[in-house]
Structure 1
Amino acid sequence: MDTAETDQRTADRRDTDAATWRTRIRRVIRSASQPGPWKRGLVLAALALLLGLFMLLHAQIPNRIGHLGSLVETFLPWFGLVVPVLLAGALWRRSASAVTALVLPAVVWLNLFGGLLSDKSGPGGDLTVASHNVGADNPDPVGTARALAASGADVLALEELSQQARGTYEKELAKAYPHHSVQGTVGLWSKLPLADARPVDTEMDYGPLAESKPVDVDGARALRATVATDQGKLVVYVAHLASVRVNPRAGFGTAQRDRGVQALSKAIAAERNERVVLLGDLNGTMDDRAFAGITPQMHSAQDTSGDGFGFTWPASFPMVRIDQILVRGVKPVSSRTLPSTGSDHLPVVAKISW
């Protein structure tokens, strides 16, 4: 091998070594310039913290503008779906900070709704009560009535009864329920004797003269009756509060419903009987602050003895539970929704015990 060839090989080796070192240096610089796992995904981490604070402080969201607070609280459980979305983004970005920040919204959501994930229903029960907004446009009132009669409920409340369908329900339910009362657009059917059935004006201000104020029976959206049971009297309220609407300009329209809530809460507060059940389509969830006058007096059968969230509307894809069974002085044993009928609401049923 001559000297020229040796010098060439030496030069090539020096060039190779220099290229290798340049590559290593570039890798070090690139690695140093890239953020670590705690610095990646800071936007995701911020969103996670905001979500947690949003759910934690939902009661502080003002209601003065478009009833925004009530709107948020109506759909509050669904905000939990944002957590897995953010988690997927955090894992994709391999962001330790975002994963850690997600602990806050996860814990807050579980604290608010974790108790609804388990089945709390039990055996037994002294009385079965049910409620269903049958829908004024129900195309099959006969099938709906028969399905409700087959549910085995001892006391059955119906809301949104149209004049055209009222006779159908009375005929189809007569055999299973010999006692009934219809006041306006709400009705109560019972296997046990009923007494003192009367309409309740959900627009009235219940005060000292409440009993003397006349009630428009035809326009009534609520009633009160006493059911005679082997364990004593049970007062049953049936109510269909005004519908709510979401309007881009006016926001969450709840004014008429909220007046009904206030009137109903005052009526229940004035009720002297120890045992009270409220059945009906209240057009709101018990997370909504608008029901603060009722929730201290009564508790939800679904929350204490149900399986899951028990969403009832819309029947095709239930998103909220606006059909309620609330109790005072009796213990819910189990609570559930029934299969869909011709209505856009699902029926609800609960067993209660003395």
Structure 2
Amino acid sequence: MKNLSPIDKMLYIINSILAALLLLSYILQLISPATIPVFAVLSLFVPFLMIINLIFGVYWLIKLKKQFLLSISVLVIGYIFSTPFYKIYGNNSSFNNDLKVMSYNVKSFDLFHKKKESKTPDGYKFIASKAPDVLAVQEYYHSKKNKLNYPHKFIKYRPKSNKYGMAIYSKYKIINSGSLDLKSVGNNIIFADILKEKDTIRIYNVHLESLRIKPGEENFGQENSEKLIERISSSFKTQAEQTVQFLAHEKQWKGKKIVCGDFNNTSYSWVYHQISKNKKDAFIESGKGFGKSFNYWFPMRIDFILTDEDAIINKFSTFSEKYSDHFPVLAKINW
């Protein structure tokens, strides 16, 4: 640092702190939030840290300073041991017998009804236009206006409610279904076993504990930062408990499976790391771009479609239609 100007010295100190935080975030993926929930909050900021470290790396390169090695080294470590933030190339192949699966947090369909002057079709029409064979819906709301026309479905309502819950719609026969009945009133995990030709495929629809973040409001809808961190930490701890419950249930199933839903956490979290273990992430296999699935100015990927390792993902798409605070994700899967 001897050859650096006072400003560059200060910048390098900031750079070092942010590089250390990014490196720490890679390690935190291996530590349950139930142990240190407050540290798990860092997983939400991994994309920010990656971009900032990339900017620092480019800055030092332009100035021909060896300090560029710090950020670049940490980013390379992340590239090797962590999930990609951005995919340059995707896969757009498909077979006639692909299983087309869509996962969508529809936010109770309450944003599906556009103004009369809008020419944009409503969310029901959008789903119908994509014609998924299997549709996993989080934050489901039972309404007479529901136009989802499927021969088979499994709907699990929240306790003391006959309208709100989760749903799995299928063009294929459902031969078994059930619910893990999470303690959280607003969240749950359900499953349905569908029969496709001679294959029985288990579909898990996962909706983990919400962080209750309101992106459009100051301080994300919390009166102060301390309480915000405390609330998010508590949610992460609950997510960890729900993940353990899910993994115990999943372990009992030995056949083909697809795990999809709203994890309310990023691909840099312990939750994702545990659930995606020994699975393929449809975005990583065949996606392109950021895979953004939450309606926020920064690209956040918190909705996933995962398969067992034997599956072939021929295509993965994230859509930008704003019928909910989430964007639907869709994958074409084969074995």
Q: TM-score range by the shorter chain?
A: 0.7 to 0.9
Distance in 2 (CA, whole Å) between partners of 1:284 and 1:101 is 28
Query: Is 1:278 matched with 2:248?
Result: no
Counterpart mapping for 1:69-108 below 5 A: 69-87=39-57, 90=60, 94=63, 96-108=65-77
Report if the CA contact (8 A) 1:183-1:222 is conserved: no
Q: Which moved more, 1:233-242 or 1:74-83?
A: 74-83
The TM-score normalised by the length of structure 1 is 0.73
Report what 2:196 is aligned to.
229
Output the aligned Cα RMSD: 3.1
Q: Which structure has the larger Rg?
A: 1
> 8 Å contact 2:34–2:241 — kept in the other structure?
no
Distance 1:107 1:38, change over 3 A: farther
Amino acid at match of 1:310: G
The 5 Å alignment of 1:250-329 reads: 250=230, 252-254=233-235, 255-272=237-254, 274-313=255-294, 315-317=295-297, 319-328=299-308, 329=310
In the alignment, structure 1 residue 337 sits paired with structure 2 residue 307: no
Aligned match for 1:179, one of 152, 155, 170: 152
Partner deviation per Cα, 1:323-346 (whole Å, 9 max, x = no partner) = 111111422222121232321100
The reply to whether residue 248 of structure 1 matches residue 226 of structure 2 is yes
Establish whether residue 196 from structure 1 lines up as the match of residue 176 from structure 2. Answer: yes
Per-residue CA deviation, residues 122-151 of structure 1 (Å, 9 max, x unaligned), is 401411100101102623258111101111
In structure 2, the CA distance between the partners of 1:107 and 1:192, relative to structure 1 (3 Å rule), is same
User: Where does residue 215 of structure 1 map in the other structure?
Assistant: none
Residue 180 of structure 1 and its aligned partner are, at CA, apart by 1.4
Identity across matched positions, percent:
20
Is 1:45 the counterpart of 2:19 in the alignment? Answer: no
Measure the CA separation in 2 of the matches of 1:64 and 1:40: 40
* 1:239-282, Cα deviation, whole Å (9 max, x unpaired): 2222024762325332332222221111111113x201112112
Call closer, same or farther: CA 1:88–1:198 in 2, change over 3 Å.
closer
Unmatched runs of 5 consecutive residues or more in structure 2:
114-120, 158-164, 214-224
Which structure would you say has the larger RCO, counting Cα contacts within 8 Å and 6 or more residues apart? 2
Aligned to 1:168: 145
Aligned length: 298
2:103 aligned with 1:131: yes
Gaps in structure 1 of 5+ consecutive residues: 1-34, 205-217
Counterpart CA distance in 2 for 1:243 and 1:219 is 8
Asked if the contact 2:57–2:72 (Cα under 8 Å) also holds between the matched residues in 1, the reply is: no
